[in-house]
Amino acid sequence: MAFVSGIAVGKGTWAGNKVASQRANPRSARAANVVRMGTLIRKPIAEELKEKYSATDIGGKVLAEYIWLGGKVADMSTGKPICRDATDIRSKTKVLDKAPESVADLPEWNYDGSSTEQAMGNDSEVMLRPVAIYKDPFRKGDNILVLCEGYTPQGEPLISNTRSKAVKIMDEIKDQEPWFGIEQEYTLMDLDGRPFGWPKDSEPGPQGPYYCGAGAAISFGREISDAHMNACLYAGLNVSGTNAEVMMSQWEYQVGPCVGIEAGDQMWVSRYIMQRLSEEFGIVVTFDPKPMPGDWNGAGCHTNFSTQAMRDEGGFEVIKEAMVKMGERHRLHIEAYGEGNERRLTGKHETANISDFKWGVADRGASIRIPRSTEAENKGYLEDRRPGSNMDPYVVTSLIVETCCLH
């Protein structure tokens, strides 16, 4: 096992067996196989030990990793539908006697909600209801990831259970076949708090060469991006692409097209997989919408949307009607599109000003961009560029549907 520019590398990792070793900094703590973040020390586990016990015969049992959203996903005091922390994804393992054939075969479970900001200590039990199953890219075999909703013992959805409301909204318009494609941007950080690969005492060269760039001095973190894509595809997620972004050490992956609630489900599971990979690589993934101040692009979660009517002949007129509705509810959308998004939506760095609403064809400085192909073909989809990278996809997708189709 070795650490190369903050990446833990060893046989059997998603990164493979080789990384550009010329990036290693022998003067850093990582040269001694130790990563530090303030007083935090993360020492890598020997890869051969991980392989030894992962290959152990577990007697036909199936390991189900139950995943749920923590209390920082929504404000517990007001119930305001804004995501405070898109990395607050919790999980624990349940041992099953056999592989389930469907979600209905999975038992409900519970956890200590007082440790996740979702319950008081004197009444801390919170219930987990499985809603979706995916293949486990870490344990593999018959083992699974299980996405769950959180409920009180009385059967009421938790405030952080934004999926519950989103499902009802999606069901109302399921005959319109709402499609979503979500572009998740994220930034890789070393454990010392600096963006991965950046000089420790200065900033790298200005933006320009990093977007979709290649080269040892240009691209930092491709191994992680590729590993995440492969892990998501193994899990059964509809990841449709990846690319390096405008700021150095910033990346993007796309989930979709997905129909209705599946967009939010797959996005949250993809984020969970990213956080698990960050453990293996010894690196921090942040969804902060403006991780670095100054002349650097922020990180968004552009959300592409269409209904069958928009995709049919003449659908551009339906999209134009939706633009009027979007403009009328601009403030409502902004309030739900991610905490700290005002630091990103400044009117610079390919964003519209947070106070203004405008849409345009091929305009990356607009609130909503209409692809040139949509205008040319008189049908297609729209891209809402306002959501920050830390947005809650359940809130955003259901609000777009509510505004465009039910308002």
Read off the tokens for 89: 């994804």
Question: How far is residue 144's CA from residue 126's CA, in Å, rounded to a whole number?
Answer: 22
Helix then strand then coil, in percent of the chain rounded to 5, is 30, 25, 45
pLDDT in tens, 199-216: 988 999 999 999 999 999
Predicted confidence (pLDDT) at residue 74 exceeds the cutoff of 80 = no
Work out the number of other CB atoms within 10 angstroms of the CB of residue 104: 7
Q: Would you state the pLDDT for residue 355?
A: 95
pLDDT in tens, 152-190: 999 999 988 999 999 999 999 999 999 999 999 999 999
Domain 161-407 part of CATH 3.30.590.10:
yes
Dihedral angle sign, alpha carbons of residues 49, 50, 52, 57: positive
pLDDT in tens, 21-69: 333 333 333 333 334 445 456 666 777 777 777 777 889 999 999 999 9
Question: How far is residue 93's CA from residue 235's CA, in Å, rounded to a whole number?
Answer: 17
Q: Give the per-residue SS3 of 259-327.
A: ECCHHHHHHHHHHHHHHHHHHHHCCEEECCCCCCCCCCCCCEEEEEEECHHHHCCCHHHHHHHHHHHHH
Predicted confidence (pLDDT) at residue 2 exceeds the cutoff of 70 = no
Q: Would you state the pLDDT for residue 194?
A: 92
Residue holding tokens 């003067």? Answer: 27
According to CATH, the superfamily of the domain at 59-158 is Glutamine synthetase, N-terminal domain (3.10.20.70)
Work out the number of other CB atoms within 10 angstroms of the CB of residue 201: 6
Q: Is 334 left (phi over 0), alpha (psi -120 to 50) or beta?
A: alpha
Residue holding tokens 């998004």? Answer: 341
Read off the tokens for 101: 């054939």
Calculate the dihedral angle through the C-alpha atoms of 116, 121, 125, 129, rounding to the nearest 10 degrees: -20
Question: How far is residue 111's CA from residue 230's CA, in Å, rounded to a whole number?
Answer: 30
State in Å, rounded, how far the first CA of the chain is from the last one. Answer: 56
Read off the tokens for 368: 């909503």
pLDDT in tens, 79-131: 566 677 899 999 999 999 999 999 999 999 998 888 988 877 777 889 999 99
Structural domain boundaries in the chain: 1-56, 59-158, 161-407
- The whole-number average pLDDT for the span 305-316 is 98
pLDDT band at 75 (very low <50, low <70, confident <90, very high): low
Calculate the dihedral angle through the C-alpha atoms of 336, 320, 318, 259, rounding to the nearest 10 degrees: -30
Q: Would you state the pLDDT for residue 41?
A: 63
The answer to whether 90 and 71 have CB atoms below 8 angstroms apart is no
Predicted confidence (pLDDT) at residue 13 exceeds the cutoff of 50 = no
What is the 8-class DSSP label of residue 31?
G
